[in-house]
A and B are shown apart, each in its own frame.
Chain A
Amino acid sequence: MTVADLTSGSSLSSARQWRPELGLGHRSRAREARNLLARVVMWTAFLIALIPLAWILWTVITRGIGLVLEPVWWNNSQRGITSRMVGGGAAHAIQGTLLMALVTAVMAVPVGVMTAIYLVEYGRGRLAKTVSFMVDILTGIPSIVAALFIYAVWVTTFGLQRVGFAVCLALVMLMIPVIVRSTEEMLKLVPNELREASYALGVPKWKTIAKVVLPTAFSGIVTGILLGLARIMGETAPLLILGPYTANLATNLFGGFMATLPTMINTNRVESLQPAIDRTWASAFTLILVILLLNLAGRLVARTSKVRN
């Protein structure tokens, strides 16, 4: 086979014949047309996918930015503010959302990361397959089912009140599979050669995992945790079932009501008066902002990763 065979594609398709008088071959108009078509289709699909995102952001930002820019929005709660009144802030809801996310993460991250370590580094045979299958099932559980399950245990069986901590328990169920799956992928990306290099130095397996494998996968694991956090912070079903809204600042996860951004949105949403409608959009914008900021913070943490080239 010669260069000319390759450039004219005669070995691939007998319909197009190699014409020796053209030397190395000729520009194929048909191929260029197909290339252009594929490019147009790709860009169109990309733009179509972008439209809803841009639309949502535009709507939420234009309607919500007025209140969000006022300092009182970040400093005050809605204590004593009725739906007719302008004023008050979202501090109580931001605080509740962050507090619940933190407590959820504290419970879910160790379990999720450890499970992933087990599945990737230790798990063999039937137990590992079972665990992996269970994680799959957990991934598929709708948030309202997780919330109702916790309700059944927490309220119906144990007779406890609906409190922030019960919400956290439901969120843990939703966050664990996300973390397990993402951490698993990151651990699998760590080349086996690094583990072997460590074993060959006489380093025990657990220390190899702690000092070689985890640091190498660190930034990916952090990214996965953030994805999990972003998911649970926007979750609404567990909040509606287990975490009633209050207009006041609250820090007790084990007693009393606690506001969160999703429940604040939902509470104001049902009102028809303009101040409440404004607050709906502003709290929606705030939720997007908070998740965005957390993601940025996470990116910064992930950048401190010591994998360097």
Chain B
Amino acid sequence: MAKRIDVKDLNVFYGSFKAIEDVSMTVEPRSVTAFIGPSGCGKSTLLRTLNRMHEVIPGGRVEGSVRLDDADIYGSDVDPVAVRRTVGMVFQRPNPFPTMSIGDNVAAGLRLNGMKDKKILAEKIEASLRSANLWNEVKDRLSKPGAGLSGGQQQRLCIARAIAVAPQVLLMDEPCSALDPISTLAIEDLIGELKSTYTIVIVTHNMQQAARVSDRTGFFNLAATGKPGRLIEMDDTQKMFSNPTERTTEDYISGRFG
């Protein structure tokens, strides 16, 4: 069920501001791809264009194409809502719905899309929480509010919520930056398990994290503040961190700037 993502000649704009210029890349199915780069280089923006979430911000638009296997997600007859069901997303800060219990949070995507069968919902809740390594911690309090969990548990809850709708691709926008090291480790382990089923793209500020969890890494940079971000280099993670082709990549990875 995992899909390949092909990005070709992508330019992203917010109004008249060009946020990303001329990005082409391929993301392999059943692998983890990390985006790294200094703040403001457009890595989060690019991530959001992969499920058309950038359109939520007024003025957001793209030129170029993003294909999931063979389908262009920016095709004229494609509904962005449908794209987001196929390409799920986990955000920087854990954001469980405050009005819903733990179980309802996991079932939210299914229920809000019209699923009513209680038995199927219960099965999906359990399966998703198990996949997110959270089931054992919350199985006795599924009806308690999701906001009562710790930050790390909330983030795993959000991952469970994202995978409950059975997406093909999972996008993660700095999923550990608000978490402590132990919770971070739990999420990283989880990413390692999830990649056997999903295509995962993760944005991270933490280069050790990129080195730990990803198979391939893309490095983004921008020429100057106010200039669009570009993909400088993309390669196997091991090569990127040991012997990158570009000088700026090496400078960034070794901590000389950024």
One digit per residue, 1 when the CB lies within 8 angstroms of any chain B CB and 0 when it does not, for chain A 197-216 equals 11111111001100110011
The answer to whether A196 and B56 touch (CB under 8 A), given A201-B108, A203-B109, A212-B99, is: yes
The answer to whether A200 and B82 touch (CB under 8 A), given A194-B98, A207-B112, is: no
At the interface, yes or no: B81 with Cβ under 8 Å from chain A? yes
| Inter-chain contact A124/B58, CB cutoff 8 Å | yes
Set of chain A residues within 8 Å of B97, measured between Cβ atoms: 194, 197-198, 212, 216
One digit per residue, 1 when the CB lies within 8 angstroms of any chain B CB and 0 when it does not, for chain A 169-198 equals 000000000000000000000010111111
| Inter-chain contact B147/A308, CB cutoff 8 Å | yes
Q: How far is the CA of A306 from the CA of B53 in the complex (A)?
A: 27
Q: How far is the CA of A309 from the CA of B56 in the complex (A)?
A: 28
Set of chain B residues within 8 Å of A307, measured between Cβ atoms: 98-99
At the interface, yes or no: B95 with Cβ under 8 Å from chain A? yes
What is the distance, in angstroms, from B85's C-beta to the closest C-beta of chain A?
Answer: 3
| Inter-chain contact A201/B84, CB cutoff 8 Å | yes
What is the distance, in angstroms, from B61's C-beta to the closest C-beta of chain A?
Answer: 15
Set of chain B residues within 8 Å of A306, measured between Cβ atoms: 99-100
What is the chain A residue whose CB lies nearest that of B100?
A306
Of the residues A124, A196, A308, contact of B98 by C-beta under 8 Å: A308
What is the distance, in angstroms, from B56's C-beta to the closest C-beta of chain A?
Answer: 6
At the interface, yes or no: B93 with Cβ under 8 Å from chain A? yes
Q: How far is the CA of A211 from the CA of B108 in the complex (A)?
A: 10
**Restricting to B158-180, which residues have a CB under 8 Å from any CB of A?**
158, 161-162, 165
A124, A196, A201 pick with most chain B CB within 10 angstroms? A201
Set of chain A residues within 8 Å of B64, measured between Cβ atoms: none
Of the residues A194, A202, A218, contact of B84 by C-beta under 8 Å: A202
Q: How far is the CA of A307 from the CA of B158 in the complex (A)?
A: 17
Set of chain A residues within 8 Å of B109, measured between Cβ atoms: 201-203
Q: How far is the CA of A203 from the CA of B105 in the complex (A)?
A: 13
CB within 8 Å of B: which residues of A? 124, 191, 193-204, 207-208, 211-212, 215-216, 218, 305-309
| Inter-chain contact B113/A193, CB cutoff 8 Å | no
At the interface, yes or no: B51 with Cβ under 8 Å from chain A? yes
Interface of A is mostly: helix
Set of chain B residues within 8 Å of A202, measured between Cβ atoms: 81-86, 109, 113, 165
What is the chain A residue whose CB lies nearest that of B112?
A203
Other contacts beyond A194-B95, A202-B109, A308-B147: 20, CB < 8 A: A193-B93, A194-B97, A197-B96, A198-B108, A198-B112, A199-B53, A199-B84, A200-B91, A201-B108, A201-B112, A201-B161, A201-B165, A202-B81, A202-B84, A208-B112, A212-B97, A216-B97, A308-B98, A308-B148, A309-B145
Q: How far is the CA of A199 from the CA of B55 in the complex (A)?
A: 11
One digit per residue, 1 when the CB lies within 8 angstroms of any chain A CB and 0 when it does not, for chain B 169-197 equals 00000000000000000000000000000
| Inter-chain contact B147/A203, CB cutoff 8 Å | no
At the interface, yes or no: B88 with Cβ under 8 Å from chain A? yes
Q: How far is the CA of A307 from the CA of B53 in the complex (A)?
A: 26
One digit per residue, 1 when the CB lies within 8 angstroms of any chain A CB and 0 when it does not, for chain B 45-88 equals 00000010100101000000000000000000000011111101
A197, A198, A203, A306 pick with most chain B CB within 10 angstroms? A197
**Would you list the 9 A-B pairs with minimal beta carbon distance, nearest first?**
A202-B85, A201-B109, A200-B89, A308-B145, A306-B99, A193-B95, A202-B84, A215-B99, A203-B112
Set of chain B residues within 8 Å of A212, measured between Cβ atoms: 97, 99, 112
What is the chain B residue whose CB lies nearest that of A205?
B81
What is the chain A residue whose CB lies nearest that of B114?
A207
The answer to whether A200 and B84 touch (CB under 8 A), given A216-B98, A308-B145, A308-B147, is: yes
Q: How far is the CA of A215 from the CA of B104 in the complex (A)?
A: 14
Can you show 20 pairs from A to B with CB atoms below 8 A apart?
A124-B58, A195-B56, A197-B91, A197-B96, A197-B97, A199-B53, A202-B82, A202-B85, A202-B113, A202-B165, A203-B108, A207-B112, A211-B112, A212-B112, A216-B98, A218-B99, A306-B99, A307-B98, A308-B99, A309-B98
**Restricting to B6-60, which residues have a CB under 8 Å from any CB of A?**
51, 53, 56, 58
Q: How far is the CA of A197 from the CA of B53 in the complex (A)?
A: 10
Set of chain B residues within 8 Å of A204, measured between Cβ atoms: 81
What is the chain A residue whose CB lies nearest that of B165?
A201
What is the chain B residue whose CB lies nearest that of A202?
B85
Set of chain A residues within 8 Å of B56, measured between Cβ atoms: 195-196, 199
